[in-house]
Structures are given as structure tokens and as C-alpha cells.
Amino acid sequence: MHKRIEEFSLARMIKSSIFIVLVIDKLQEYRELKFLDLSGIPLSNEGAKSLRTLLQHTQTLELLNLSGSLQSYEPARQLFNGLYANVTLKYLNLSCNKFNQNEKEFGSRIGRLVQVHERLVHLDISYSRLSK
């Protein structure tokens, strides 16, 4: 049976890191996923690793909303590693995340992301606490 889900949103719904890992892992079975909204769900290291794997292997995801989901260094680093390997994203929301603890590194990672993503047309980093 062909599984077809194009849009999936869990925005601000769950806080369990175990549950979010299970959900992201399961989403890898849906080959037509175009829209994923995980805004307001704090990603653990394990959740970020699952999302990294999803991003590396998806061929259809065009919109990813992670507003307010990256609250510490390691999940953010894992996520960026997955984003670099993804070639399908057009819209990426990274607003309201805490990049200020390693602002130089994440400023550089965001710059690299813009360089490697030819299809990216919208990147929101507002309120992400990056300074000069």
C-alpha cells in the first residue's frame, strides 16, 4: 500500500522527546511529504538526529518550520548537517531559536546554507538572537 501524506503539523503539540523521535522516524515512510511543521517543539539530540536523517533522504519536502524548536547547541548542529544534504527545501523557518550561544558558528552555518541551497527562496531567522 502506497502511503501518502503531503502535509504534517505537530506545532506546539508535544514535549516528549521520545514521541517526536518516533514520529519523525515514521515520517520517513511517506515519500510525498512536502510540508512539515514542528514549530515550538523543543528538539532533543535524538529528535534532531532523526530529523537530520529525514532531511538527508527526503526527495519532496519543500517547507520546514522549526520556529522555536532549537534550544541548545547539539540539536542545532545536527539539524544543519541534515539541511546541507537536503536539495528540496524552498521555505525554511528558523525564527525564534537560540543561536546566540554560538552566534559566530551559526551565522557561518546559515551563510553556508544559503550558498548550498539553490531552491531555497524563503529563510526566516527573525528573533533568533544573532547579533553582529
Q: Give dist(CA 11, CA 1) in Å, integer.
A: 28
Each residue's pLDDT, cut to its tens digit, for the chain (132 residues) gives: 456 777 777 766 666 677 788 888 888 888 789 999 999 988 999 999 999 999 998 889 999 999 999 888 889 889 999 999 998 999 999 999 877 666 678 888 889 999 988 899 999 999 876 655
Domains and CATH numbers, the chain: 7-124 (3.80.10.10)
Neighbours of 111 (CB within 10 A): 10
Helix (H) or strand (E) holding 55: helix 45-57
Neighbours of 114 (CB within 10 A): 11
- The reported pLDDT for the residue numbered 93 is 97
* Nine cell digits for residue 7: 502535509
Question: Which residues does residue 118 pair with via DSSP β-bridges, in sequence order?
Answer: none
Closest CA to 2 of 31, 25, 23, 27: 31
